Structure 1
């Protein structure tokens, strides 16, 4: 069995640690934070096999350009000559075609379904109560254009074996009678689920600590030494950490960590915002996605978590209140009785989704170093795909056949 050092303590890093420890490896996780408030905590908590279409799609280029001129839009790219953004943008343009969408659907679906099954299994383990609910997700739409697009998507989903149904307004109303609707209908992604990310992360940390996994917090990796096609040690300032195997699970910080190894990990941080509101009436019991607004609403911990926006920029601590207002203002357009107030800045959570240019995660061995595994680039689906990525990372390091093909996720793919 190997001594494994995982760089990164988000959902992917901790899931990798979980399955590696279960496989008998000696595991250490190192992170520059305290592992208690990364991107894995503030997301919408959705498990989404329905999301088999990558970010890089033919229509996204034109739509993204239109959205750039609206300060409240759900997607924004800050214009910059940042080499990281230029490289990302060129690859995005290269992949934004129908062939890529078709090629990506099956591997993304397989990865998502594996992850959902693993979360179902994990929820039955002692100490892993993270409120997994399997009621699906409702994708609501207001326009004929969105209806047509979502109905087409549902048809594609069914071809992939996913349980999806196009619902009328009356059918939507029957599912949640207390929710007033101003929509044309919805697609019910019955294949989806949701959970509490805060409870999941806490459960993973508690398990790993009790299982003897070393959790090293507030240590930023500053240097990585290599020799003979292998990583020999990782340094945090003057402190040295050695292992047999190394995992890069550093989310939006992966390009910087990869650079220490001479690896070009092409991804951009996509800032997203969320905030929580009490919902004593339990108006929403099935998570909602607002198609045109690109907003997510999830019942969670006795309230509702509202989330949205994708803001591609350098990592920063700015809160763009216009983007948050865009989330708030979109909600009553779909649900007239639901009118969340604009939250105070201190109540707004933000995090950075590690978004690859082609919309697929990076999972696999590095070709340059035979003891490095890359597990990053999951975009908005980090939580959803975390469990599967963790298992696959464990299988790679254990030298076992992987549960699904990972060819499409090769870290150095073209």
Structure 2
């Protein structure tokens, strides 16, 4: 069995650790900060086989340009002469076409369905109650244009074997009797599910520690020593760490980490925001996506989590209150009875989604370093795709035939 070091303690890193440890490997997780502060904790908690269309899709460029002039819009790219952003943008433009969408649909579907099956298995394990519920997701729309887009998505999803359906406003009200709705209708992604990310991450950590996985926080990688096409050791937090295999699962920090390994990992951090409000009456039972507003609304542990936005740019700790205000103001336009208050800045969570230019994650071995595996670039679907990615990482390290074809996710593409 191998000694493995995983760089990154988010859902991808912890999931990889879980499956590697189950396979008998000796695992150490290194994280540059505190694990409880990473992107996975503030996630909307949605498991989404319905999301088989990558971010790089036709129409996204034009829509993104229109949104750039709205301070409360759900998507924003800060104009910059940053070479990395320009390079990423050119790659994004090259992939924003129907051919790429068609080629990506089956790999994304298969990765999502594998992850959903693994979540089901994980929920059956003793001590793993992370609030998994199979109620689907309702994607509500208010305009004819969004209705047409959702109908097209549902038709394509059904052709891929996914359980999806268009519902009238009346049928939506029957499914959510505790909510007042102001919508034309919704797409019901019955193939989807949702969980409590906070509980999942805490339980995963507890399980790993109980099974002798070493978790080392506040130890960012500062140096990599390699020779002969192999990593010999790394320096993190002033300490030396040696292993047989290494995994980069550092989310939006993966490009920075990758450069120390001599790699170029094309990713941009997409900042997202979320906040919670108590829902004592439990009016919301089924998670919702507000199509035109690009807002996610999820029932979670007696509260509702509101989340959204994608700010592409540099890593920073600034909270853009206009973006959060845009989330809060969008909700009552669909649910007149839900009027979330603008939260205090201290109650606003934010995190960075690692967005690849073609909208697909990177999963597989590095061609440059034979004992390095890359697992990053999941964008907004890190939580949804965590278990599948972790299982695939364990199979790659074991030299096994992977449970699904991962060619579309090659880090060398």
TM-score, normalised by the number of residues in structure 1: 0.99
SS of alignment partner, residue 226 of structure 1: strand
Aligned to 1:63: 63
Aligned to 2:52: 52
How do 1:50-199 residues align onto structure 2 when only pairs under 5 Å count? 50-199=50-199
SS of alignment partner, residue 36 of structure 1: helix
Cα separation, 2, equivalents of 1:339 and 1:13: 36
How do 1:15-414 residues align onto structure 2 when only pairs under 5 Å count? 15-413=15-413
Question: Gaps spanning 5+ residues in structure 2: where?
Answer: none
Structure 1 residue 96: deviation in Å? 0.5
Aligned to 2:5: 5
- Contact preservation (8 Å) 2:27, 2:214: yes
Cα separation, 2, equivalents of 1:224 and 1:376: 19
Cα separation, 2, equivalents of 1:89 and 1:202: 36
SS of alignment partner, residue 32 of structure 2: coil
Cα separation, 2, equivalents of 1:335 and 1:302: 18
CA distances 1:275-301 after superposition (whole Å, capped 9, x unpaired): 000001111100000000000000001
CA distances 1:361-380 after superposition (whole Å, capped 9, x unpaired): 00000000110000000000
SS of alignment partner, residue 39 of structure 2: coil
Structure 1 residue 237: deviation in Å? 4.8
Cα separation, 1, equivalents of 2:129 and 2:234: 34
SS of alignment partner, residue 271 of structure 2: strand
- Contact preservation (8 Å) 2:218, 2:237: no
Cα separation, 2, equivalents of 1:246 and 1:373: 6
SS of alignment partner, residue 158 of structure 2: helix
- Contact preservation (8 Å) 2:362, 2:375: yes
Cα separation, 2, equivalents of 1:177 and 1:353: 34
Structure 1 residue 262: deviation in Å? 1.3
Cα separation, 1, equivalents of 2:321 and 2:238: 40
CA distances 1:308-365 after superposition (whole Å, capped 9, x unpaired): 0000010000000000000011011101111111000000000000000000000000
- Contact preservation (8 Å) 1:223, 1:237: no
Cα separation, 2, equivalents of 1:160 and 1:9: 33
SS of alignment partner, residue 129 of structure 1: coil
- Contact preservation (8 Å) 1:209, 1:215: yes
TM-score, normalised by the number of residues in structure 2: 0.99
- Contact preservation (8 Å) 1:2, 1:245: yes
Cα separation, 2, equivalents of 1:84 and 1:360: 18
Cα separation, 2, equivalents of 1:197 and 1:398: 28
SS of alignment partner, residue 286 of structure 1: coil
Give structure 1 regions of 4+ aligned residues with deviation exceeding 3 angstroms: none
Structure 1 residue 55: deviation in Å? 0.2
Structure 1 residue 236: deviation in Å? 1.5
Cα separation, 2, equivalents of 1:356 and 1:154: 25
CA distances 1:29-71 after superposition (whole Å, capped 9, x unpaired): 0001121110000010000000000000110000000000000
SS of alignment partner, residue 112 of structure 2: helix
- How many residue pairs get aligned? The number is 413
Structure 1 residue 239: deviation in Å? 1.2
Structure 1 residue 238: deviation in Å? 3.1
Cα separation, 1, equivalents of 2:311 and 2:270: 5
Cα separation, 1, equivalents of 2:136 and 2:58: 27
Cα separation, 2, equivalents of 1:61 and 1:176: 34
SS of alignment partner, residue 41 of structure 2: coil
- Contact preservation (8 Å) 1:353, 1:378: yes
SS of alignment partner, residue 33 of structure 2: coil
Question: What's the Cα RMSD here?
Answer: 0.6
Structure 1 residue 182: deviation in Å? 0.6
Structure 1 residue 76: deviation in Å? 0.1
